[in-house]
Amino acid sequence: MLKDTNSNRKRSASALSIIHRKKPHHINNNNKNLKQILILSFDALKERKAKSALTILMVIVGGGLMISINGVRVLL
């Protein structure tokens, strides 16, 4: 008789966990986190205009140099 009550408890506990299962919290927070990251990044761009402009210029010049080096290498 004791074994039956234990197995019933196990079954009822697992049934309750299935009934009360919630959605994973990361599914709802992904959009919220992405939105917060974008807001923070644009705020940082607005606050540090000179640093942002220099960084963008560095990326453009660096990319241009890589393209020109590969172009010269192909010609030689």
The rounded average pLDDT for each run of 10 residues, N- to C-terminus, in the chain (76 residues) is 52 55 59 88 88 93 95 84
pLDDT at 76: 76
DSSP H or E stretch at residue 26:
helix 25-47
**φ/ψ (deg, to 5) at 31:** -65, -40
pLDDT at 67: 94
pLDDT at 44: 86
Please answer whether residues 45 and 52 qualify as being in contact, where contact means their C-beta atoms are separated by less than 8 angstroms: yes
Indicate the burial class of 53 (C-beta count within 10 angstroms; 0-12, 13-18, 19 or more). Answer: exposed
pTM for this one? 0.44
